[in-house]
Amino acid sequence: MPYLILSDVHANQEALEAVLKDASGLYDRVLCLGDLVGYGADPNYVAEWMRQNVAAVIRGNHDKVCVGLDPLEVYNPAARASAEWTRAALSPENFAYLEGLPRGPLRFDNFDLVHGSPADEDEYLIHAGDVESLRDWLDAPLTFFGHTHVQGGFLLTRGGIRRIFPGMEPILQLEPDHYYLINPGSVGQPRDMNPRAAYAIYTPEVRTVEFRRARYNVARAADKILEAGLPPSLAARLHEGT
């Protein structure tokens, strides 16, 4: 039973639709690692789609700040403006849905879902050094994480930690006795210099994770951000993949 693993959709309808089209026929169930909203111009569309389609989902930091569970002050001006705009734009039903999202880690089957890291939902796992101290926190051999918007992740062996680069290993074979932290990348705001929407397909039966990218109508998503009166930098970064 393959899973479609989504993260950091960030209210980007065009990117989500392109991923679903690209992944069509490849998965049975959908899992989401948080940051459904914030930055993008379609928070209601994305929240509603998640409500109807995900088997499991956890909250991200932007979901929290958009519904007032986190203070606005810790965010940069563009993120703050988008959080305030999103808060006003959300329907009462979608607001309540986001408010009620569970915090990670969430155990699903025999693997874990987290937004930032297993130790802290708001922590960024960027370098191998960020991961070393997590050995004691890892409950499952496989953990999916998001938050950095960078597709890939880390392999932990007894000997050390290795970064996983999707460009070199588009289909990752999971070996027994190793621990994996896997990031599907961001659907709605990739930051790895590749503007295409990122996601992953996990197939437990054959123990593979496939890293995939889908082209989408970036110009349309960016135009909607401008039309909504959101900061232009949020539109520009979609074109750049930053």
What are the residues binding Zn ion (CB under 5 A)? 8, 35
Between CA 98 and CA 44 the distance in angstroms is 10
Closest-approach residue to Zn ion (CB) = 35
Q: Of the two residues 179 and 199, which places its CB atom closer to Zn ion in the complex?
A: 199
Between CA 191 and CA 238 the distance in angstroms is 9
- Exposed e or buried b for every residue in 126-136, given b needs 16+ CB within 10 A? eeeebbeebee
Least separation in angstroms between residue 206's CB and Zn ion is 29
Q: Of the two residues 8 and 121, which places its CB atom closer to Zn ion in the complex?
A: 8
Least separation in angstroms between residue 207's CB and Zn ion is 27
Alpha-helix residue ranges (DSSP H) falling in 54-178: 61-66, 77-89, 92-99, 128-132
Least separation in angstroms between residue 141's CB and Zn ion is 25
Q: Of the two residues 149 and 212, which places its CB atom closer to Zn ion in the complex?
A: 149
Helix (H) or strand (E) holding 31: strand 29-32
Distance of CA 111 to the CA centre of its chain: 16
Q: Of the two residues 156 and 214, which places its CB atom closer to Zn ion in the complex?
A: 214
Least separation in angstroms between residue 10's CB and Zn ion is 6
